[in-house]
Amino acid sequence: MSECRRPGDMEGGMGYAKTALLMAAMTALFMGVGYLLGGSGGALIALVVAAAMNVFTCWNSDRVVLRMHNAEPVLAGDRLGLYQLTAELARAAGLPEPKVYLIDTPQPNAFATGRNPANGAVAVTTGLLRNLTREELAGVIAHELAHIRNHDTAIMTVTATFAGAISMLANFALFFGGSRERLGLVGTLLMMFLAPMAAALVQMAISRTREYAADKAGAEICGHPLRLASALEKIAMGAAQIDNHAAERNPATAHMFIINPLHAHKHDNLFATHPATENRIAALRAMAGASASRGAGVTQSRVPRTGRSDRGSKGPWS
């Protein structure tokens, strides 16, 4: 088996190093806001509160998010073969079989959730099944499995909790005398606006980093980068044209989807939760070209031949 397809293989150390630095920055920002509000005691209290919030959120986030999007479980033996396809790809990724969910919305999209691989879940929309071929769908599911294998679902839950807690602390700033003594009224007001903005920027940077890593690992799991690239192109087009009402009601979950369900971004700007789709597709095409030039086995498909034919430009799932 080629090195690029090892089940335990993840993205390079640079991606993890960047994520670790951004997580450290988020933690430092949180404790800094706590210090400005209440000195060293405030920083300690902020850290304890963050730890408690993270434990609670990580333990319950999967159920909450799936309920927000009215996701229905897909059982083994479903007529479309969706469960079997996901289970086969999970085995290729070296993962336990995740739970599979279907969301009834015409927008093509998908996300993964769960505090760890043993509790992972993959949710896809009915619009995704209608618009993608089987091979493209395998690329999307592999991308979501990569998020689970890389523990991105837990990382993003923690960062979202930190960002929310920092915003909450900053809004309390006017009620704490310590912050006014250290910063003055103008400084306190600036902190109320700048701290949440800084937290959001760090959160979005982490999200973009993890998406690139999941694209790479997902392409390795399914065995064909170009099929994931084709899927991303179709999903981005659909997400820009079709509303996802549940996501609009719960915009804090937008970063979980493979493509932003709320609106499309043309550039990897600071306020984007996802990298530009064009950049992701270019990276996958470069990966396919590099694999072909060195004769690597990454183009061997891992899609099980179950369910209906995958021929045609539309999905065989409707």
Containing domain of residue 169, as a range?
Answer: 12-299
Confidence of residue 314 (pLDDT cuts 50, 70, 90): very low
As a whole number, mean pLDDT of residues 161-181 equals 64
Strands 99-103 and 110-113 come out as unpaired
Highest mean predicted confidence (pLDDT) among 54-58, 103-107, 285-289: 103-107
Would 315 be classed as within a structural domain? Answer: no
pLDDT at 167 over 50: yes
pLDDT at 7 over 90: no
pLDDT at 198: 72
Q: Is 126 strand, coil or helix? A: helix
Would 236 be classed as within a structural domain? Answer: yes
Mean per-residue pLDDT of the chain = 77
Would 317 be classed as within a structural domain? Answer: no
Q: How far apart, in whole angstroms, are the C-alpha atoms of residue 74 and residue 258?
A: 20
Helix, strand counts (H, E) of the chain: 9, 4
pLDDT at 114 over 80: yes
Would 263 be classed as within a structural domain? Answer: yes
pLDDT at 68: 87
What are the tens digits of pLDDT across the range 121-154?
999 999 999 999 999 999 999 999 999 998 887 7
pLDDT at 182: 60
Burial zone of 152 (CB within 10 Å; 0-12 exposed, 13-18 middle, 19+ buried): buried
pLDDT at 15 over 60: no
Would 245 be classed as within a structural domain? Answer: yes
- Total count of domains within the chain: 1
The H or E element that residue 123 is part of is: strand 121-125
Would 290 be classed as within a structural domain? Answer: yes
Instruction: Provide the angle, in degrees to the nearest 10, between the axes of the packed helices 177-222 and 152-171.
Output: 160
Sign of CA dihedral 113, 115, 116, 118: negative
pLDDT at 204: 73
What are the tens digits of pLDDT across the range 20-35?
666 677 777 777 777 6
64 versus 40: which is more confidently predicted? 64
pLDDT at 64 over 70: yes
Would 3 be classed as within a structural domain? Answer: no
As a whole number, mean pLDDT of residues 78-99 equals 95
pLDDT at 49 over 90: no
Confidence of residue 155 (pLDDT cuts 50, 70, 90): confident
Highest mean predicted confidence (pLDDT) among 50-64, 92-106, 158-172, 185-199: 92-106
What are the tens digits of pLDDT across the range 271-309?
567 888 999 999 999 998 887 766 554 444 455 444 443
Query: Which range is least confidently modeled, 117-126, 154-163, 221-230?
Result: 154-163
Would 4 be classed as within a structural domain? Answer: no
pLDDT at 251 over 70: yes
Which pair of structure tokens corresponds to residue 314? Answer: 């539309």
pLDDT at 12: 45
Percent of the chain residues topping a pLDDT of 70: 61
pLDDT at 3: 31
Confidence of residue 46 (pLDDT cuts 50, 70, 90): low
Catalytic positions are 144
Q: Is 122 strand, coil or helix? A: strand
